[in-house]
Amino acid sequence: MDARDREGLIPLLVLAGPTAVGKTDLSIDLAKRINAEIISADSVQIYRGLDIGSAKVSLMQRQTIAHHLVDVVDSDQSFSVADYQVLASSAIEDVWRRGHFPLLVGGTGLWIRALTQNYPFPKETPSNRNLREHLADIGEHYGWDGLRRQLRLVDPDSWEHIHPNDHRRMIRALEVFLTTQRRLPRNTGGAWRYQTRYWVLTRPLLDLQERIRQRVEAMLAEGFEEEVRELLRQGLSPKAQSMGSIGYRDMVDWFWGKSTRSERDMLIIKHTRAYAKRQLTWWRSEPEARWLDLSVWSHDEILSRLELSAQELISSQ
């Protein structure tokens, strides 16, 4: 789909980027300039109660600029990319219909791609749920390596891109293949659903790694340990989907005695840095992504550039 084919579609500005790059503050300042409401594309901030460990946008910030798809799912619930696609598309249409500009902000690349390129997903059925539970039982009781080998046979692209510890996405890829005989969609060739400008925010790797270290230390100082302890005290299963998130998984392992406190803190930093690298690798495969190095441009220069991008989208209507 070329630019002419997208005329008349809802305009959507996308601000993606790895964890700790600086998306939140920039997106709020930009939203003030362009009369926007923010649609979150963050697979952890979607959960109620997972606040500190997700660096969730604060209540004060949400009172300043409307945010959608934050705190919409209980921490014990499962939530899929297909669920996100439905809720986010509805939010975008609502924001645009009320005369505001939709601004999509987040670091979950698959969610962004599924939403903007309108991926088709199998309809949710009891048999789908049973299949996912069956695959999870196989992984838990017989080992995840066997499922990884199966995934490599049926969907080598997903096998390459999905981390061995990301059991949920591994199960999802196998589910899609077993129910549709198709591989998990990764690039639909540009079947864009919106008139989109896709920006990826970045920084030099060493700078990003230092920001991640500082963020993790701030989270720990703010009470990350107490947050997870309270969630478990309230009855949340350590095996809940939400507890598989970066940082939370390491915190749960520490509660189970698998690491010391100092080892836990280093593991959170290590795993968050590895996640940031995977995020950047993902966006390098997005042909329409435009990159902005936040270490090169000043805050005001970046805002002006993004504001112009939003104006171009509006003028294309």
The domain that holds 144 is classified in CATH as 1.10.20.140
Question: Which residue's structure tokens are 């966006």?
Answer: 283
Per-residue pLDDT band for 171 (boundaries 50, 70, 90) equals: confident
Residue 57's pLDDT is what? 95
Lowest mean pLDDT among 49-53, 140-144, 199-203, 220-224: 140-144
What are the φ and ψ backbone dihedral angles of 37, each rounded to 5 degrees? -120, 145
- In this structure, the answer to whether residues 12 and 150 fall within a common structural domain is no
Residue 185's pLDDT is what? 64
Residue 2's pLDDT is what? 43
Residue 2 covered by a domain: no
- In this structure, the answer to whether residues 297 and 223 fall within a common structural domain is yes
Say how many domains are in the chain: 2
Per-residue pLDDT band for 188 (boundaries 50, 70, 90) equals: very low
- In this structure, the answer to whether residues 271 and 293 fall within a common structural domain is yes
- In this structure, the answer to whether residues 40 and 166 fall within a common structural domain is no
Residue 1's pLDDT is what? 40
- Structure token digits, residue 19: 């964890």
Residue 177's pLDDT is what? 84
pLDDT digit string, tens, across residues 301-316: 999 999 999 999 888 7
Residue 117's pLDDT is what? 87
Torsion angle defined by CA atoms of residues 176, 177, 183 and 185, in that order, rounded to the nearest 10 degrees: -10
User: Under 8 Å CB-to-CB from 307, ≥6 apart: which residues?
Assistant: 30, 33, 34
Lowest mean pLDDT among 43-52, 119-128, 227-236, 274-283: 119-128
Question: Does residue 20 contact residue 111 with C-beta atoms inside 8 Å?
Answer: no
**Average pLDDT for 176-188:** 72
E-assigned strand segments in 107-237: 195-202
279 or 192, greater pLDDT: 279
- In this structure, the answer to whether residues 150 and 113 fall within a common structural domain is no
- In this structure, the answer to whether residues 156 and 243 fall within a common structural domain is no
- In this structure, the answer to whether residues 291 and 237 fall within a common structural domain is yes
- In this structure, the answer to whether residues 219 and 146 fall within a common structural domain is no
190 or 195, greater pLDDT: 195
CA 207, CA 33: separation in Å to the nearest integer? 28
Show the domain range for 131. Answer: 126-180
Residue 60 covered by a domain: yes
**Residue 241 confidence (pLDDT) above 80:** yes
- In this structure, the answer to whether residues 224 and 103 fall within a common structural domain is yes
- In this structure, the answer to whether residues 37 and 169 fall within a common structural domain is no
Q: What is the mean pLDDT of the chain?
A: 90
